[in-house]
Structure 1
């Protein structure tokens, strides 16, 4: 292979000549692979002309195209990017094998960039406070206490957020998870959630914060007549919100029931009575999302207590274990409790108002019609906590429960 230094000198002569007034390449007797090749000029302080810059670029490209990548990297890794077609190349070549033996020490950690804790000058967009920023749906097993003094370990989805001041770039989101894991072995209650919230507020230096925990709570229910029993699963969420120094404890419950249309029931009976025509009223699976704010300092509101309130309001809960006698009983139960979506909201409200442990509340009911190609919905709130003029566009879509 041709000596690259000699070739570089030859190209230089070809492009810009060998006059003493022009830059020229000087080559020492260093062995191949040495680095003492230099470009000399009698007047290095003057500004080079564009023609000289173009000549130098052409020189570098021709030289780099004829030598190995290692030789280019020895001169300067950036030279490789001057070669047409290799503008984004990255020399020297990077290691491709995972470094199992590499260990991170304090000095290395201190050298690592941390953009989220950078200065306000790194903020993109409007420099305003963010009310909620954090992580959603990290899952872990959590132990919950039940009304009958037992414990259940349930897969729980956790959402944790904090407020972010206008002059701060961002947060280290992994701190929310790390803080929560410190309490993961405890049997959870709102008191434990409060300790977790206190910890990650301190870690993240935030004023406001929120924790929400979602899980599916099993409760054994009896069939209507056959004596069988099975587990009904209830979607429940616990929410602890702190805003402007005020904390609120909220419980959300999805209660699934059957709704028989009162109008359809009467029309079916009319067809039987006046025309001897068999007819059946339409009924459908329906969902109520009940959200309650707990009174500060009040007694414990067990999950089972809230479920009992919902069942007392609308007893036509969907069934788990069913034999023929249970199916007949369910038809009779629906006929005894026909219900419009307006009725549902008010019946749930009536029960919630009886419980002194509950302050503000909201009832969202969705009757997923078997007669219509649309659903019937209602929203009823009491108190300021859940009052809102705007509704999430996907709110009612989230009420579908798939078996």
Structure 2
């Protein structure tokens, strides 16, 4: 029960002195005796989805500012109750005016390790990245947006690993449906339309040198060919239909096509690809997942 003698008024004029600040309770930095549960290390503890506008470089040197969702974590050793969560944000804000790329994450994570007195750190920046896409035949153009994430991990020996994630949307025309449609036309003179569906290739690559988002998009375009379109007139829709017929693919084909392109990239150390065809024939999705196969790597 709250004492009736306590003041129930917020005083905006109250000034914090150093002595008063030092007197504030600090349970998270308390002794190990305060730990609840098993006294064991925690691999990642921190804050997810704090947002701010960050600058990213284009291949031509242009800078683009994007609303970015940040996940920041550090490792917590045994015998430590917790971390100062607000330092995750405060440490990151030291870099808020800088240009972000994968190597920049190394700097932020070193700051995390220093500011939070921890042995490891992890950082993920997620954003929607716009790239101008030209229409297939009408000479129009529009912004295609890609779900992208940059990820960095720094271990207790300051070994740094960097990753890029991309969701690439494409159309997948079913080869089986195409052949069955052609059979109906040829054998019975019956009109039939093969089915296709919007599909997504979720690609994660581990890199040993910088890669632009545009580069990873170009790799996926080369592999899959049938990227969904932004600006479409009738001539573009016809071109897209022709393209789908020329590049029919099962979900297994899609995964192997992306594998083939990624495996040729020297800066790509490891990768995993998950293709999802959101079926128009079935009420369920078709999924294929493939990885480079590096021992102990991405799965």
Give TM-score, length-normalised by structure 2. Answer: 0.97
* Structure with max Cα Rg: 1
Partner of 1:84: none
Tell me the CA shift for residue 96 of structure 1. Answer: 2.6
Partner of 1:154: 66
Partner of 2:154: 242
1:136 aligned to 34, 48, 53, which one? 48
| Equivalent pair of 2:106/2:154 in contact (CA under 8 Å) | no
1:271 aligned to 184, 190, 193, which one? 184
Partner of 2:221: 311
Partner of 1:122: 34
1:363 aligns with 2:276: no
Tell me the CA shift for residue 111 of structure 1. Answer: 0.8
**Counterpart-to-counterpart distance in 1, 2:175 and 2:114:** 55
Structure 1 or 2: more helix by fraction: 1
Give TM-score, length-normalised by structure 1. Answer: 0.72
Within 5 Å, give how 1:179-198 maps onto structure 2: 179-198=91-110
Partner of 2:230: 320
| Equivalent pair of 1:216/1:234 in contact (CA under 8 Å) | yes
Within 5 Å, give how 1:13-162 maps onto structure 2: 88=1, 90-162=2-74
| Equivalent pair of 1:131/1:163 in contact (CA under 8 Å) | yes
Q: What secondary structure sits across from 1:188 in the alignment?
A: coil
Partner of 2:125: 213
**Counterpart-to-counterpart distance in 1, 2:297 and 2:91:** 29
Stretches of structure 2 that go unaligned for 5 or more consecutive residues are none
**Counterpart-to-counterpart distance in 2, 1:135 and 1:236:** 19
Q: Which runs of 4+ in 1 moved over 6 A?
A: none
Structure number with the bigger relative contact order (C-alpha 8 A, sep ≥ 6) is: 2
Q: What secondary structure sits across from 1:194 in the alignment?
A: helix
| Equivalent pair of 2:149/2:164 in contact (CA under 8 Å) | yes
Paired residues, what number?
Answer: 297
1:15-37: CA deviation from partner (whole Å, max 9, x where unpaired): xxxxxxxxxxxxxxxxxxxxxxx
RMSD: 1.1
Tell me the CA shift for residue 354 of structure 1. Answer: 1.4
**Counterpart-to-counterpart distance in 2, 1:303 and 1:371:** 33
Structure 1 or 2: more strand by fraction: 2
Tell me the CA shift for residue 275 of structure 1. Answer: 0.6
